[in-house]
């Protein structure tokens, strides 16, 4: 006979079990902390790099639009004025800047005309030219014009470029930065929120300050439109048929397994498929949102089908029995009772599928969406066939460029993409809350 | 002659409402119902009793072809409703189920308003010409299900918010609203407390005046309280079918006697 054990002292076995449980909890907590830490690190890095893209530096100086130079024919005909290229405008701006600086008494030590011009973005002459061509009456007037500052000057006011880094930089000199600081002190340079980043189109590698996401955002939205219009009805119809109507036999088993497999196919394979079928075989245009949308539809379909089937399966069979017992047809029981109850799950699945599609890059590279596109696509439906970019592709594109200012732009674009994804997920959560019913 | 005897005397003179001959049911390879013959009379309550898995619910579900919804189920034999074969190829089960209503074991109101629950059947069968007509059908059905007084002020409230007993009476009202001739009830009180059970049992007794009621029950006491005829099923066979009084006082088969005295089941 063993002695009676006291409840007040834990025996060795119990102590071991308790220790194992404590250890397991610690592992779990550590895993969660690692996850949260990675997320925080990611977000702070992107925010730190990308926040600057939402602010932009502008220079405001009075410029006299000299009609002798900009309209040599003197008839104010925009078609003829267009023969004057941006090279006709750039010296005028440089001259205006020099005169204004002299008038303000700001010293320009060690700065030649070329260096002075580099303070203004190369994009500025094009902006002024477009403005003049649109409204020739502006000629021969002196206007307070706002122009983009050069990329390095912009970087200086955002802290990316410093006097120390400028000494090692062939593109900017410390003297230029000193001058820019003096101009800012005189109220000529201002840094403020950058709407053009969200609404403008992409710019060449020398003009990061002018690059915007407008075309990419529009292209992504067009693609989401195509995906939503195609994938939701096809996916839901397929899932309803498979779950509620199809006989359970070998063929439907094969179909089911293949749908699950399709969800695991690498996305680049869908890109090859899209290139072969939609562009080479069907002859649809390259870089077009409609092709991107079709490829992403193929990718999203399995997600929507699987989510819809799970949602349908979660509807209690008693609801179907109740409807059938009242003499409802199979279709009436599905459309009047089962589908409304499954709607929150279907919507959530759809939005998750859309969010996946929104962030997808690889298949779009193959169908030519990585191209440099400056012109906005037209309004749908014609615009779906115009060339456009897409947000993730624009990020990829910008990270390839040499100028460090594009790193900031790429991170900013990532923030926009993340913002859209978070918004979509919030909508999914809200729809779920709104439509969820108890039974 | 008391009331019940009068009813029974009237019934024996008329043709049966439902008559089943040599009905067999298979679930895949399982032989669930074996050669069942039964004649169910109109305007009375017929109870199916028997131990779990004896096939009483399966047989009940043959009467409105709910077994059709199970892929592996196969029904042979003949079941007539008013002399018409309900398994004839030309019969649409949807029409049949409008005539043969069903109430399930667990109350299963739709997650909609009380009004919409009752109005659903008349709507899909086009029984109401306009809104006031539909209102009248809903009120009549809820009154017959003895629920009107309790819910008349909150018809727009969700049906799932009612108590269990009220939900089951709502399901009965929903079944009545399509104007059926037969009401099938599959253990309608097994999920209810004793008070709700008593209410539903009283309701079943009242429904007898208008409908042919067939009820499956686990409780022998319930069968003896509400039914006039009782069928005892055992291992897929119909062992005995007779007046309820006789089944419970003087059963003809030793298996029935063993079951009602609690030795099997």
pLDDT in the model for residue B260: 86
Render pLDDT for A144-160 as a digit per residue (tens, 0 to 9): 888 888 888 898 998 88
Q: How confident is the model at residue B3 (pLDDT cuts 50, 70, 90)?
A: low
- Report which of residues A207 and B135 the model is more confident about: B135
Residue A223 · residue A294 · CB < 8 Å? no
| Angle at CA of residue B95, ends A329 and B104, nearest 5° | 70
Judge contact between A26 and A55, C-beta under 8 A.
Answer: no
Tokens (6 digits) for B252? 């003809």
* DSSP structure string for A89-108: HHHHHHHHHHHHHHHHT---
Whole-number pLDDT of residue B216: 94
Residue B257 pLDDT exceeds 80: yes
Mean confidence (pLDDT) of chain A: 88
**Is residue B92 pLDDT above 70, yes or no?**
yes
* Average of per-residue pLDDT across A192-207: 86
- Find the helix or strand (DSSP H, E) in which B175 lies: helix B164-177
Do the chains contact at B94 and A321, CB–CB below 8 Å? no
pLDDT surpasses 90 at A16: yes
Query: What is the complex's ipTM, to 2 decimals?
Result: 0.86
- pLDDT tens-digit readout, A373-414: 888 888 888 888 888 889 999 999 999 888 888 999 999 999
Q: Would you call A326 and B121 a contact, using CB atoms and an 8 Å cutoff?
A: yes
pLDDT for the residue numbered A158 = 87
- Which residue from A minimizes the CA distance to B118? A326
> pLDDT tens digits, residue range A240-260?
999 999 888 899 999 999 999
DSSP H/E element including B229:
strand B229-234
**Residue A63's pLDDT is what?**
87
The predicted model gives A261-271 an average pLDDT of 90
Are A306 and A259 in contact, with CB atoms under 8 Å apart? yes
Whether A439 has a pLDDT exceeding 50, the answer reads: no
3-state helix, strand, coil in chain A (%, to 5): 70, 5, 25
How distant is the Cα of B244 from the closest Cα of chain A, in angstroms?
A: 28
For B69, the closest of A324, A336, A437 (CB atoms) is A324
Torsion sign, CA atoms A117, A120, A121, A127: negative
pTM reported for the whole predicted model: 0.83
Q: Does A326 touch chain B (CB under 8 A)?
A: yes
- Smallest CA–CA separation between B238 and chain A, in Å? 25
The two tokens of residue A217 are 């955002």
pLDDT-based confidence at B11, cuts 50/70/90?
A: low
pLDDT at B39 over 80: yes
In which band, very low, low, confident or very high, does the pLDDT at A437 lie, cut at 50, 70 and 90? low
pLDDT for position A209? 87
Determine whether the interchain pair A326/B98 forms a contact, defined as Cβ–Cβ distance below 8 Å. Answer: yes
Looking at every residue in chain B, the average pLDDT score rounds to 88
Most distant CA atoms of chain A, gap in Å: 120
Residue A230 · residue A380 · CB < 8 Å: no
Min Cα–Cα distance to chain A from B264, Å: 30
Write phi, then psi, for B108 (nearest 5 degrees): -130, 60
Q: Please state, for a pLDDT cut of 90, what percent of chain B lies above it.
A: 49
B106/A341 CB distance under 8 A: no
Q: Does A250 touch chain B (CB under 8 A)?
A: no
Q: Is the pLDDT score of A44 beyond 80?
A: yes
């Amino acid at each position: 006979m063993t002695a009676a054990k006291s409840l007040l002292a834990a025996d060795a076995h119990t102590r071991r079990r308790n220790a194992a449980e404590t250890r397991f909890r610690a592992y779990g907590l550590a895993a969660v902390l690692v996850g949260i830490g990675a997320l925080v690190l990611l977000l702070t890095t992107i925010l730190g790099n990308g926040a600057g893209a939402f602010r932009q530096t502008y220079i405001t100086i009075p410029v006299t639009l000299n009609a002798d130079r900009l309209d040599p024919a003197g008839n104010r005909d925009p078609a003829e004025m267009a023969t004057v290229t941006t090279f006709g405008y750039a010296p005028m701006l440089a001259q205006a800047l020099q005169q204004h600086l002299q008038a303000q008494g700001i010293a320009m030590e060690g700065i030649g005309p070329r260096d002075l011009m580099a303070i203004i973005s190369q994009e500025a002459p094009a902006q002024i030219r477009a403005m003049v061509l649109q409204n020739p009456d502006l000629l021969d007037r002196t206007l307070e014009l706002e122009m983009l500052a050069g990329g390095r000057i912009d970087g200086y006011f955002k802290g990316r470029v410093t006097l120390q880094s400028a000494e090692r930089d062939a593109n900017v000199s410390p003297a230029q930065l000193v001058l820019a600081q003096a101009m800012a002190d005189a109220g000529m340079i201002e840094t403020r929120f950058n709407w053009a980043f969200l609404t403008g189109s992409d710019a060449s590698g020398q003009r990061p300050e002018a690059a915007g996401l407008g075309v990419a955002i529009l292209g992504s939205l067009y693609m989401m439109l195509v995906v939503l219009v195609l994938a939701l009805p096809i996916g839901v119809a397929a899932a309803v048929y498979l779950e509620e109507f199809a006989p359970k036999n070998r063929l439907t088993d094969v179909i089911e397994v293949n749908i699950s497999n399709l969800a695991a196919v690498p996305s680049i394979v869908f890109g090859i498929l899209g290139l072969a079928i939609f562009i080479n075989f069907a002859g649809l245009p390259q870089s077009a949102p409609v092709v991107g949308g079709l490829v992403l539809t193929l990718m999203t379909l399995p997600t929507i089908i699987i989510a819809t089937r799970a949602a349908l399966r979660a509807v209690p069979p008693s609801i179907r029995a109740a409807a059938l017992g009242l003499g409802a047809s199979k279709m009436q029981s599905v459309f009047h009772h089962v589908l409304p109850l499954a709607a929150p799950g279907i919507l959530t699945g759809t939005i998750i599928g859309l969010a996946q599609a929104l962030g997808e890059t690889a298949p779009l590279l193959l169908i030519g969406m990585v191209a440099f596109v400056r012109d906005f696509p037209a309004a749908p439906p014609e615009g779906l066939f115009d060339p456009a970019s897409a947000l993730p592709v624009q990020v990829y594109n910008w990270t390839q460029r040499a100028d460090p200012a594009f790193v900031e732009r790429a991170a900013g674009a990532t923030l926009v993409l993340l913002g859209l994804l978070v918004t979509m997920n919030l909508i999914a959560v809200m729809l779920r809350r709104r439509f969820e019913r108890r039974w | 002659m008391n009331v019940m005897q009068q009813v029974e005397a009237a019934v024996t003179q008329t043709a049966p409402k439902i008559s089943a001959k040599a009905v067999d049911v298979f679930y895949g390879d399982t032989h669930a119902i074996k050669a069942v013959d039964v004649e169910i009379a109109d305007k009375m309550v017929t109870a199916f009793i028997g131990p779990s898995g004896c096939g009483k619910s399966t047989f009940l579900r043959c009467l409105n072809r709910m077994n059709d919804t199970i892929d592996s189920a196969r029904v042979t034999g003949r079941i007539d409703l008013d002399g018409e074969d309900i398994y004839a190829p030309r019969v649409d089960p949807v029409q049949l189920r409008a005539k043969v209503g069903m109430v399930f074991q667990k109350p299963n109101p739709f997650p909609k308003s009380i009004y919409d629950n009752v109005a659903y059947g008349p709507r899909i069968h086009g029984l109401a010409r306009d809104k006031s007509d539909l209102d009248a059908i809903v009120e009549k059905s809820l009154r017959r299900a003895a629920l009107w007084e309790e819910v008349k002020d909150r018809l727009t409230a969700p049906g799932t918010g009612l108590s269990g007993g009220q939900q089951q009476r709502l399901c009965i009202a929903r079944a009545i609203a399509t104007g059926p001739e037969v009401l099938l009830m599959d253990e309608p009180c097994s999920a209810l407390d004793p008070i709700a059970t008593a209410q539903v049992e009283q309701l079943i007794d009242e429904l007898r005046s208008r409908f042919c009621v067939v009820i499956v029950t686990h409780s022998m006491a319930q069968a003896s309280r509400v039914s006039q005829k009782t069928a005892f099923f055992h291992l897929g066979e119909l062992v005995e079918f007779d007046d309820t009084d006789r089944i419970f006082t003087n059963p003809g088969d030793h298996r029935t006697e063993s079951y009602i005295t609690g030795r099997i089941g």
